[in-house]
Amino acid sequence: MQKSLYITSNGRLRRHENTLYFEMGDEKKAIDIENVEQIHIFGEVDLNTKALNYISQYGIVLHFYNYYGFYTGSFLPRKKNVSGDVVVRQALHYLDREKRIFLAYCFVESAVYHMMRNLRERKEAEDFLVAIENEWERGRFNISNITELMGLEGRIRNIYYQSFNQFLPEDFSMEKREKRPPTNPINALISFGNSLIYSHTLSQIYQTQLDPSISFLHEPSEKRFSLSLDISEIFKPLIVDTVIFKLLNNHQLKLEHFDEDLNYCYLNQEGKKIFLKEFQNKLETTVRHRQLNRNVSYKGFIRLECYKLIKHFIGDQVYSPLKAWW
Domain ranges of the chain: 3-65, 84-313
pLDDT at 153: 96
Binding region: 153, 218, 233
| DSSP code at position 8 | -
Measured from the Cβ of residue 56, the count of other Cβ atoms closer than 10 Å reads 16
Burial class (CB in 10 A: 0-12, 13-18, 19+), 133: middle
3-state secondary structure of 36: strand
Distance of CA 204 to the CA centre of its chain: 10
Report whether 296 contacts 287 (CB < 8 A): yes
Q: Distance between CA atoms of 244 and 274, rounded to whole angstroms?
A: 11
Report whether 267 contacts 258 (CB < 8 A): yes
Half-sphere exposure of 212 (CA within 13 A, CB side): 23
Q: Distance between CA atoms of 205 and 215, rounded to whole angstroms?
A: 12
Closest CA to 309 of 242, 238, 234: 234
296 bridge partner residues: 287
pLDDT at 172: 92
CA torsion 33→39→44→50, rounded to 10°? 50
Q: Distance between CA atoms of 300 and 295, rounded to whole angstroms?
A: 9
Q: Give every CB contact of residue 287 below 8 A, 6+ residues apart in sequence.
A: 295, 296, 297, 298, 301, 326
CATH, domain range 3-65: 3.100.10.20
pLDDT at 222: 64
Q: Which CATH number applies to 84-313: 3.40.50.2000, 1.20.120.920, 1.20.1260.10, 3.40.47.10?
A: 1.20.120.920
Per-residue pLDDT of the chain (326 residues; tens, 9 = 90+): 788 999 999 999 999 989 999 999 889 999 999 999 999 999 999 999 999 999 999 999 999 999 888 899 999 998 888 899 999 999 999 999 999 999 999 999 999 999 999 999 899 999 999 999 999 999 999 899 999 999 999 999 999 999 999 999 998 998 888 777 898 999 999 999 999 999 999 999 999 999 999 999 999 876 689 999 999 999 999 999 999 999 999 999 999 999 998 788 999 999 999 999 999 999 999 999 988 999 999 999 999 999 999 999 999 999 999 999 99
Closest CA to 119 of 132, 106, 102: 132
Binding region for Mn(2+): 153, 218, 233
Q: How many Å is the Cα radius of gyration of the chain? A: 20
pLDDT at 206: 94
Q: Distance between CA atoms of 59 and 76, rounded to whole angstroms?
A: 8
Q: Distance between CA atoms of 88 and 97, rounded to whole angstroms?
A: 16
Number of H-type helices and E-type strands within the chain: 10, 12
Report whether 286 contacts 299 (CB < 8 A): no
